[in-house]
Chains A and B, each alone.
Chain A
Amino acid sequence: MSALATKRLMKELAEIKTKGTPEGIQLLSANDMQEWIFLISVLGEETIYRGETFAIRMKFGNRYPIEVPEVTFLANLQYQPPVHPHVYSNGHICASILGNEWSPVLNAVAICITMQSMLASNKKKERPEGNDRYVRSAPSNPKLTRWHYDDDRCNVNRADERLRSI
């Protein structure tokens, strides 16, 4: 870990411990400065995700916060990723702030808030187009996928798919 990354993560952790996290977001584990897991639920009666809790994992690299952490919803026996048009069934998320619109002024809690509001604004439970094909051939690190960001749809870059099929 670089000094910058460690310092920043220590600070974020201290802030979470003193000020707490926004409602519906909870830090489940932060055993080290490499990997944190948060629990997220959507507030209110209106949401289609009422009563569901999701776990989101962040892996912080050496270049955090200059570079975005690797962020995925957990998909295991205990937790399942939300059914959402930008979330693949393996937990990979297509969101521009986790890609080329990440900014070093954002932090772990800001990512959770963005994910929470992404879920809150969704009206229909469905997987992204081409989910099965993507999940079959996806790299384990979603940062290696080159997404094509679009407000309504979620696309894996075609060039990327072609590369992987070679």
Chain B
Amino acid sequence: MSAQKNEGEGQPQPRVIDENTDLSTLTDQEIMKLMEGMDHQDSQMDKPLISTPVPLSVIRQEYEKGSTQILKKLDWLAENGWDQIWRARGDGDCFYRSFTLAYLLRILHSSNSQLEANLSFENIQKSLPLMEQCGFDKDLYEEFLDPLLSLIRGFDNGDDEKTSNEYGIVQTLQNPETSNCIVVALRLITSSYIRLHSETFSPFLLSPITFLPLSTDEFCRSEVEPCGKEADHAQIMALSESLNIGIKIAYLDRSDIGDETNVINWVDFGKDTTENAKPLTLLYRPGHYDVVTKDVLPQI
């Protein structure tokens, strides 16, 4: 995240606060106002859990009056073919919902969907013993995992409407029960991985509010397992490692722009994020994740 202090300090008039706003410039009153907004969240709760794709230009319009850095980054994405955004609802589960969609789209668009589905299925199966080791109830995690596993099995059968195309996948993930179960399952996978790799993760387990270190158990119980808690680097790294899937996140913030070839800051998670490995690609704006993709033409 960018840390450009002093910018916009001491502004007396109310201003528009959006993903474009540098968080370090927020005044106490503005934070209060935002918190009140969060309590209601009505505007968010009306939105679909995950949307069909909107063109990147729609996002650009939201930033037209915003910083030139952000616009340059958006233009770079567009020039490089990243032209679709699949919006996740901003309810604190957006990373996990975006992950799910990107994960299923990756199988759908693979040149061999059946094989890819089988590999993904196997990787998820590998997380079961970890969850058991952490003391999670077997019936419980199996129940939460079931919707995801049966969707993935659908690719293997090849005749499941839910996974036959992008529309089917989005529709399925718009069902709250399906989507929420998958969110919980991913949270449990993430939590087990962090718990069992405590030594690796412990330096990064901080309270997002106080920035004080938390014990692994505290962090998992308060920041990973409950629904509605945002994912940060530790959670993303754990999920990516656990399911052996690369994730690339484009940071749409006001951090400095790199050279011409590297205008946007992509942060990579997981072992292999080369283009061949087809990593999941997400767009991050402070406090929110969506999926960003290059439009895939149907294979004939």
Measured CB to CB, the residues of A under 8 A from B are: 2-4, 7-8, 11, 63, 66-67, 96, 100-105, 146, 159-160, 163
Residues of A within 8 A of B196 (CB): none
Q: How far is the CA of A7 from the CA of B142 in the complex (A)?
A: 13
B177 touches A104 (CB 8 A): no
What 8 A-B pairs come out closest when comparing CB atoms? A103-B225, A66-B180, A104-B184, A103-B226, A101-B222, A101-B226, A4-B177, A105-B140
Do the beta carbons of B177 and A159 come within 8 Å of each other? no
The verdict on B17 contacting chain A, using a C-beta distance below 8 Å, is no
Least Cβ–Cβ distance between A30 and chain B, in angstroms = 19
* CB pair A159 B32 closer than 8 Å: yes
What residues of chain B lie closer than 8 Å to A100, measured between beta carbons? 226, 228-229
Please measure, in the bound complex, the distance between the C-alpha atom of A103 and the C-alpha atom of B223, giving whole angstroms.
10
CB <8 Å contact, B136 and A159? no
What is the interface residue range for chain B against chain A? 20 to 34
Other 11 A-B pairs with CB < 8 A, given A67-B227, A105-B188, A105-B225: A3-B177, A4-B181, A7-B143, A8-B143, A11-B139, A66-B180, A66-B227, A104-B140, A105-B140, A105-B141, A160-B39
CA distance A11 to B140 in the complex (A): 10
Kindly identify which residue among A101, A105, A146 contacts B137, using a CB–CB cutoff of 8 Å. Answer: A105
Residue of chain A at shortest CB distance from B180 = A66
Interface residues of B in 83-127 (CB under 8 A from A): none
Residues of B near A67 (CB, < 8 A) are 227
Residue of B nearest to A3 (CB): B177
Report B's interface with A, CB cutoff 8 A. 32, 35-36, 39, 136-137, 139-141, 143-144, 176-177, 180-181, 184, 188, 221-222, 225-229
Pairwise interchain contact B36-A163, C-beta atoms closer than 8 A: yes
- Inside 8 A of A160's CB, which chain B residues have their CB? 39
User: Chain A contact residues: over half helix, strand or loop, or mixed?
Assistant: loop
Question: A159 contacts which chain B residues (CB < 8 A)?
Answer: 32, 35-36, 39
Most chain-A CB neighbours within 10 Å: which of B181, B221, B227?
Answer: B227
A2-B177, A66-B227 are known contacts. Are A105 and B36 too (CB-CB below 8 A)? no
Can you offer 9 A-B residue contacts whose CB atoms are under 8 A? A4-B143, A8-B143, A11-B139, A63-B176, A66-B181, A100-B226, A101-B221, A103-B221, A104-B227
**Nearest CB to that of B137 among chain A residues?**
A105
Q: Name the CB-closest residue of A to B178.
A: A4
Q: Is the CB of A66 within 8 A of B226?
A: no
- Chain B: CB-nearest residue to A100: B226
Given contacts A101-B226, A105-B225, whether A66 and B184 have CB atoms under 8 Å apart is: yes
CB distance from A95 to the nearest CB of B (A): 13
Judge whether B226 and A102 touch: CB under 8 Å. Answer: yes
Bound: A105/B185 CA distance, A: 10
* Chain B residues within an 8 Å CB radius of A66: 180-181, 184, 227
On whether the beta carbons of A104 and B36 are closer than 8 Å, the reply is no
Which chain B residues lie closer than 8 Å to A8 at the CB level? Answer: 143
Q: Are A146 and B39 in contact (CB under 8 A)?
A: yes
Residue in A3, A11, A101 with the greatest tally of chain B CB atoms within 10 Å: A101
CB distance from B215 to the nearest CB of A (A): 14
